[in-house]
Amino acid sequence: MHHERWQLLIHGKVQGVFYRASTEQQARMLGLAGYCQNLEDGRVQVVAEGIPDQLQQLLEWCWQGPAQAEVTRVDVDKDVPTNEFHGFQVRH
């Protein structure tokens, strides 16, 4: 099965609203590998590898996020997977 690596940059009110923990839960449910982390500029970065259909589902979820989030934009950069991840985790 074809795998891809997607890097998502989520803009808006996405820090301090359980965005990373919720993203981790969603990515694990979809069987994706990778990580999410807060960036100093207020965005959240998500790097995920897996089947494009599952990545698309994660992208659609990221547009909404948890209840307290207010997502204004999601940038997507697609690349070749590195297969360096084992599971999905929050980076601090």
- Catalytic residue positions, numbered: 20, 38
**Partners of 12 in beta bridges:** 71
DSSP 92: -
Distance CA 8, CA 15 (A): 15
Q: Based on C-alpha coordinates, what's the Rg of the chain? A: 12
